[in-house]
């Protein structure tokens, strides 16, 4: 499946993800992740991963970006860009974990929401949420 990136400011989203990567708090894993989340009004929300000594309380960059936006009243999104690597050195693609994919299902149309994983502004992949979470469980699953 080919993803249409028309109207998606990929470069700006990747820039935001790299800026957020520098803010990641990762004293345990040393694996830093940054995200740039595009809402339907064109604003790019940033998120970084924030670890905790108990690990279970750790929050991923993608969910941080979503939670920031939702806490400000935004609940409609187009795409997210994600970068990550050990000590913040991005050498490969960093895909979202399963928990983050599930969180995306809550607010995004899996058919049209785009997940971009990048090494830099020119090396990235783009897939729909449905491609990375086939048969996902979301609000429509509970509709009567």
Per-residue pLDDT of the chain (144 residues; tens, 9 = 90+): 479 999 999 999 999 999 999 999 999 999 999 999 999 999 999 999 999 999 999 999 999 999 999 999 999 999 999 999 999 999 999 999 999 999 999 999 999 999 999 999 999 999 999 999 999 999 989 987
Kindly state the tokens that stand for 100: 């983050």
Q: Which of 51, 62, 91, 144 is catalytic?
A: 62
Q: Say how far apart CA 75 and CA 34 lie, in whole Å.
A: 20
Give which of 80, 73, 94 is closest to 12, Cα–Cα: 80
State how far the Cα of 136 lies from the Cα of 124, in Å rounded to an integer. Answer: 23
- 91 is a catalytic site residue: no
CB 138 within 8 A of CB 106: yes
**Gap between the Cα atoms of 111 and 108, Å rounded:** 9
């Amino acid at each position: 499946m080919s993803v249409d990136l028309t109207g998606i400011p990929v470069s700006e989203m990747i820039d935001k993800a790299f800026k957020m990567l520098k803010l990641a708090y990762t004293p345990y894993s040393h694996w830093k992740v940054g995200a740039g989340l595009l809402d339907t009004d064109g604003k790019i929300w940033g998120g970084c991963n924030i670890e905790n000594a108990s690990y279970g309380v750790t929050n991923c960059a993608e969910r941080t970006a979503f939670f920031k936006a939702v806490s400000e009243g935004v609940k409609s999104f187009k795409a997210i860009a994600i970068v990550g690597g050990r000590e913040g050195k991005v050498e490969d693609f960093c895909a979202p974990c399963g928990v983050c994919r599930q969180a995306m299902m809550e607010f995004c149309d899996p058919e049209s929401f785009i997940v971009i994983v990048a090494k830099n502004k020119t090396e990235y992949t783009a897939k729909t949420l449905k491609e990375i979470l086939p048969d996902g469980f979301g609000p429509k699953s509970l509709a009567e």
